[in-house]
Amino acid sequence: MTIRLFNTLSKQKEDFVPTTSGRVGMYLCGPTVYSDAHLGHGKTAVAFDVIRRWFVYRNFKVRFVSNITDVGHITDETSDEGHDRIGERAKLEQLEPMEVAEKYMWNYFHDMEALNVQKPNIAPRATGHILEQIEMVETLIANGKAYERGGSVYFRVRSDPDYGKLSGRKIDELEVGTREDVREDKEDPLDFALWKFAEPEHLMRWKSPWGEGFPGWHIECSAMAIKYLGENFDIHAGGLDLQFPHHEAEIAQAEGAGYKFARYWMHGNMLTINGEKMSKSKGNFTTLQDFFATHDPMVLRLIYIQSHYRSVAELSADTITAATSVLSRFRETRREFVRKLELAMAGHDAAFEKKIDFARAQFETAMDDDFNTPEALAALFAMTKEFNAVAITNNKNSLEMGLETFDMLAGFVFGLFPANTSQATQGKDGLLEGLLEIAIEARKSYRLNRDFKSSDALRERLKTLGVQLEDTVDGTRWKLEA
Amino acid sequence: MTIRLFNTLSKQKEDFVPTTSGRVGMYLCGPTVYSDAHLGHGKTAVAFDVIRRWFVYRNFKVRFVSNITDVGHITDETSDEGHDRIGERAKLEQLEPMEVAEKYMWNYFHDMEALNVQKPNIAPRATGHILEQIEMVETLIANGKAYERGGSVYFRVRSDPDYGKLSGRKIDELEVGTREDVREDKEDPLDFALWKFAEPEHLMRWKSPWGEGFPGWHIECSAMAIKYLGENFDIHAGGLDLQFPHHEAEIAQAEGAGYKFARYWMHGNMLTINGEKMSKSKGNFTTLQDFFATHDPMVLRLIYIQSHYRSVAELSADTITAATSVLSRFRETRREFVRKLELAMAGHDAAFEKKIDFARAQFETAMDDDFNTPEALAALFAMTKEFNAVAITNNKNSLEMGLETFDMLAGFVFGLFPANTSQATQGKDGLLEGLLEIAIEARKSYRLNRDFKSSDALRERLKTLGVQLEDTVDGTRWKLEA
C-alpha cells in the first residue's frame, strides 16, 4: 500500500514517503480569530481532517499542528494622543484584543466540534510564539535575506531566485498590490514585512530588537511549523487562497533561514454557493454558526466530502437536499442493519463477506489515490446496498464484520456519526429509542383494538415531534427528521 | 447595595470598591495541564465561577482572567548525551511537551464545561508569555530584587521586608523546604527561582539574556495578571494551597517590579473525601472525569455550592445522596411550576409575589455578604416551597415573575441548569418530553380499557429506561433518574 498525493510544489501526484518511518508531521494553516468562521473555512478543515484520519487508518502516527492567528490588528481609535495616552488609561476600560481573540477562538473550536473535526495535536497561537518569530527574523537579517527600516523588518524578495516556485509566478511578473506594499521605506515594493513597527494606537505590541512592534502575517507559520514538526517535515496544507502570497512567503522565509521546510504542499479548493464564490459583497457570506442554526452539521460535512478536496464543492438547496437524503440513508441503513445483526444467529456468509471486502478495497484504493473521497463514498453506497439486501440467517459473524467495516470507514474515516449527534438525537442510554418503541407498540395496540382515531392521532403527534413512521413487512420503522 | 468580601491580605471582610467604576478585574490561578483535574480543582473553579456570576448579577462588567500553566517539566530521559543529542533526533520521534499540555488543557476545559463553569474572558498560557516574564525578571534584576547565578535568576527574598504579609509568615521563621531550595548557587536558601537554567534533557526551553532556560513557577501569574488586568487590579483568587508560597511570591515579584498589584486576595478552601484530605497516598484521589463517569456533574457543583467558599466541602456517599435529592427537587419543582404557569390565566397574586421578593432579598443579602452560598441556597428552598404551594388561578403574571427570579438565581448565578443537561435529558426540541407524554397517555388508555397487564408492563419498561411515574390528583407526573 502506498498513499499517493498531489504535491502543489511539483504539480504532480507523488508517492508519500514520510521523513520518519511510520509517522506523519502535518501543518494546516488555521483561522484568524477576529471573526466567526464561514462555510469556506469548514471545507478546508474537513478536507484535511479526513486526510489526517486516512493516515491514521493507514497506521501512521500523525502529529497534526494547526495554528491560531490571534495577532490582532485592532487599534484604539479613541486614542489621538499616541501610546502614552493609552498607557495612562485604566486597563479595564481598554478594548483588550486578547479577549476578542479568545472569544472567536472558542467559537471556532465549537464549530469544529459540530463538524466533528478532530482537534489538532497542537494548536499554537501566534501571540504565544513571538520569541520564536523574532529569532527567525534575526536569522534572516544575519543571512542577508532581510533588512530593518524604521522599526519594521522586510524580506528581500529578489534575494530568493526560487520565489514563486509554489504558485508558479515569476518575480518579474509580480504585481505590487496593496497600499502597504508601496511603502516608501522598502528597498523594493515586492518585499514583504516580517516585523512591523507598532503605531501608537496599535494595541497588540511586543518589545523586539527593532523597537515595539508585532510580527508580519507570514512568519508565524514558518516559525511554529518548524518548532513543532522539525525543519524538514512532511506535509504543509491550507486553502488554495493561501497559496500566494502566504505559502510562497513561508517557503522563502524558511529556506532563507536555512531550513528545508515542508516536502509536500497540499491545497484544498473553495466552496461555491449557488455556483458563485462566497463573498461579503455578494451577500452570500454565511458563517458556520448561521448554517448550523437551521441545518445538521453532518449534512455540511457530507457536502464537503462529496467533492474531492482539490475540487470546488457546491452548496445549494439541491446539494443540501441530496446530502440530507444520503445521510438519512446511511443512518437508517445502519440502524436497521444493527437490528438484523441482533436477530441473526452465529455463523458466516462467505458471499456477503466477499462483497464487503470488495467495497472496502474500493474505498481504500480511492483514498490512497490522493484521497478521492467521492469515489470512496461510492464504495460506502455499495456496502449499504449489501446491508439492505442481506437476509437474517445464521450469519451473525459476517454481519458483525460488515458493521465494523462500515463504522471504520463511514464513522471513523469520514467522521459522519459523531458521538454528539447520537446523544442529541438518542438521549441518555437509549432512552429516546426506548420511548419510540413504546410509542410504536401503543399505536399497534390501538390498531388491534380498532381504535384508529387514537392510532392516527399518535402518528400525527409523532410527526409534529419530527418522527416519521413507516410500516413494512418487518414491522414499523421510525425515522427522525434531519 | 455593597458587596463585602473577605480579603486574605487584611484578614477581614471589606467593602468591595472597584478600581474602575462598574468593572471588576479578576485573576484566578488556573490548572497545570500535565495531568487531569481532580475534585479539588473543581471546587476552586466553581467557587469563583459563582462569585464571578454574582458580580455580573450586580451589574459589574467582569474581565475574568485565568491562566493555563503549560510550562512543562518533562525531560527526555532517553537522552544521556545532552542537548546536542536531542537536536539530532527526528523531531517527530521526540516527546513534544506541548502536545501533552494541549491534551490536558482540552480535558480541563471539557471538565469545566461539564461543571457549567463559564470560560475565562482570557485564558493566557504561560508558554505564550515568555517575553513578558523575561521582561519582568529584567526589571527585578535592575531594581536589585533579583540576581543571576549559573544561568538561573533568583528573587532575593530578604530584600522584601513585606514578604509573608499575605500568609502571615515571618521571614526569619520560614523553613527551607525542597531540595531545590538549598541549591548552593543561591545567596540565600529562601530565595526562589524566577528563571531556571535548562539542563540538556529539559525539553521546553527558550532563549533569554541568561542563556536557554524556562520561567520559574511564580512569575507567570504576576506577569500575565498585570498584562491583562493592569498593574493595580481588583481581585486575585486561588485555592488556599496556593497562598504560600505561590501568592506570596507573586506579590513580592510584582511589588519588587514597582507595581501595586491585586487589591483583594480571595482563597477557596479545599474538599475532603469522607472527612479526609484528598491525596494520592491515601488512595482517595479522584479526577473529575472519573467522578463524571458515574455521577451527574451538577450534583458535584451543588456539593461545592452547599458549603461556603472559605469552608471545607465534604464529599461522601451521604453528601452525594443529599445533593442528588436537592437537585431533583429543584428540577421537578421547576418543571411542575412551568406546567402550572401554562395553565394559569393572566393576573397577579400580590401575596405570592411578596414571598418571592422576600426570598430574592434573602438570596441577595447572603451573596452580598462574602458570597454566602449556603444561606443563599436556603432562599431557593423557600422559593420552591412557594412554587409547590401556589394554586393555579388567574395569577400567570406573578408565576412568570417567580420563574424568572428562580431561573436568574438558581439557573444563572448558581449555574445549576446548564443547557447541555437539558439537551442530554430532553433531546431535540422537546422530543423526549413529547414521547413521555405519549407513553403516559398510552398507559392511561390501557387502564381505561382495563388492560392492566399492558399498563404495568409499560410502567416497568419506563422504569428500566430510568423514568419514574407518579400518579397524582393532577394526573401522572414523570421524573427522570439523576
B81-136 pLDDT, tens digit each: 444 444 446 678 778 899 999 999 999 999 999 999 999 999 999 999 999 999 99
**pLDDT for residue A125 is more than 80:** yes
As given in the structure block, the three cell numbers for residue A407 are 463504522
The C-alpha cell 491562566 sits at B67
Task: List the one residue out of B216, B198, B199 whose CA is nearest residue B207.
Answer: B198
The C-alpha cell 454574582 sits at B54
**pLDDT for residue A420 is more than 50:** no
A139-178 pLDDT, tens digit each: 999 999 999 999 999 999 999 999 999 999 988 888 765 5
Chain A residues whose beta carbon lies within 8 Å of the beta carbon of residue B198: none
Distance from B177 to chain A by nearest Cα, in Å? Answer: 33
Q: What is the pLDDT along chain B (482 residues), one digit of tens a residue?
A: 899 999 999 999 999 999 999 999 999 999 999 999 999 999 999 999 999 999 999 999 999 999 999 987 676 655 444 444 444 466 787 788 999 999 999 999 999 999 999 999 999 999 999 999 999 999 999 999 999 999 999 999 999 999 999 999 988 888 765 555 555 689 999 999 999 999 988 889 999 999 999 999 999 999 999 999 999 999 999 999 999 999 999 999 999 999 999 999 999 999 999 999 998 888 888 999 999 999 999 999 999 999 999 999 999 999 999 999 999 999 999 999 999 999 999 999 999 999 999 999 999 999 999 999 999 999 999 999 999 999 999 999 999 999 999 999 999 999 999 874 433 333 444 677 788 888 888 888 888 888 888 888 888 888 888 888 888 776 787 877 65
pLDDT of res. B80: 46
B91–A23 CB contact, under 8 Å? no
The C-alpha cell 449556603 sits at B374
Residue of A nearest to B431 (CA): A465
Chain B residues whose beta carbon lies within 8 Å of the beta carbon of residue A453: none
Between A203 and A121, where is the model more confident?
A: A121
The rounded Cα A385 to chain-centroid distance in angstroms is 29
A466–B430 CB contact, under 8 Å? no
The rounded Cα A85 to chain-centroid distance in angstroms is 42
pTM of the model: 0.87
Strand order of the sheet with strand A276-277?
A276-277, A271-273, A313-315
How far does chain B reach from its first CA to its final CA, in angstroms?
38
B92: exposed, middle or buried (C-beta count within 10 Å: 0-12, 13-18, 19+)? buried
pLDDT of res. B130: 97
B90–A427 CB contact, under 8 Å? no
The C-alpha cell 439523576 sits at B482
Structural domains in chain B, CATH included, are 14-268 (3.40.50.620), 276-423 (1.10.730.10), 440-480 (no CATH)
The C-alpha atoms of residue B218 and residue B202 are separated, in whole angstroms, by 19
A462–B438 CB contact, under 8 Å? yes
Chain B residues whose beta carbon lies within 8 Å of the beta carbon of residue A451: 445
The C-alpha atoms of residue B384 and residue A291 are separated, in whole angstroms, by 39
Confidence label for A191 from pLDDT (cuts 50, 70 and 90):
very high
The C-alpha atoms of residue A256 and residue B406 are separated, in whole angstroms, by 63
The C-alpha atoms of residue A27 and residue A45 are separated, in whole angstroms, by 12
As given in the structure block, the three cell numbers for residue B362 are 434573602
Task: List the one residue out of A32, A162, A40, A51 whose CA is nearest residue A107.
Answer: A32
Q: Which residues contact A453 (CB under 8 A, 6 or more apart)?
A: none
Distance from B1 to chain A by nearest Cα, in Å? Answer: 22
How far does chain A reach from its first CA to its final CA, in angstroms?
38
The C-alpha atoms of residue B408 and residue A321 are separated, in whole angstroms, by 41
Distance from A295 to chain B by nearest Cα, in Å? Answer: 13
Residue among B19, B438, B454 minimizing CB distance to A458? B438
A63–B92 CB contact, under 8 Å? yes
Among B438, B445, B453, B458, which would you mutate to test the A interface (most chain A Cβ atoms within 10 Å of its Cβ)? Answer: B438
Residue among A98, A228, A429 minimizing CB distance to B122? A98
Tell me whether the omega of the peptide bond preceding residue A189 falls within 30 degrees of 0, making it cis: no
Please name the amino acid found at residue B229.
L
As given in the structure block, the three cell numbers for residue A368 are 490512497
B63–A96 CB contact, under 8 Å? yes
The C-alpha atoms of residue B105 and residue B100 are separated, in whole angstroms, by 9
The C-alpha atoms of residue A137 and residue A241 are separated, in whole angstroms, by 25
Tell me whether the omega of the peptide bond preceding residue A31 falls within 30 degrees of 0, making it cis: no
Confidence label for A233 from pLDDT (cuts 50, 70 and 90):
very high
Name the percent of chain A lying above pLDDT 90: 74
Distance from B433 to chain A by nearest Cα, in Å? Answer: 10
The C-alpha cell 390528583 sits at B473
Residue among B423, B430, B435 minimizing CB distance to A439? B435
pLDDT of res. A213: 96
The C-alpha cell 413507516 sits at A470
Residue among A61, A428, A465 minimizing CB distance to B425? A428
Residue among B92, B436, B467 minimizing CB distance to A23? B92
Please name the amino acid found at residue A456.
D
pLDDT of res. A174: 82
A25–B102 CB contact, under 8 Å? no
Confidence label for A433 from pLDDT (cuts 50, 70 and 90):
confident
Residue among B93, B228, B426 minimizing CB distance to A96? B228
B111-141 in b/e form (b: 16+ CB < 10 A) is bbebbbbeebbbbbbbbbbbbbbbbbbbbbb
The C-alpha atoms of residue B82 and residue A101 are separated, in whole angstroms, by 39
Residue among A61, A122, A127 minimizing CB distance to B102? A122
Residue of B nearest to A441 (CA): B442
A207–B135 CB contact, under 8 Å? yes
A23–B461 CB contact, under 8 Å? no
ipTM: 0.85
Chain A residues whose beta carbon lies within 8 Å of the beta carbon of residue B458: 438, 442
The C-alpha cell 461539564 sits at B114
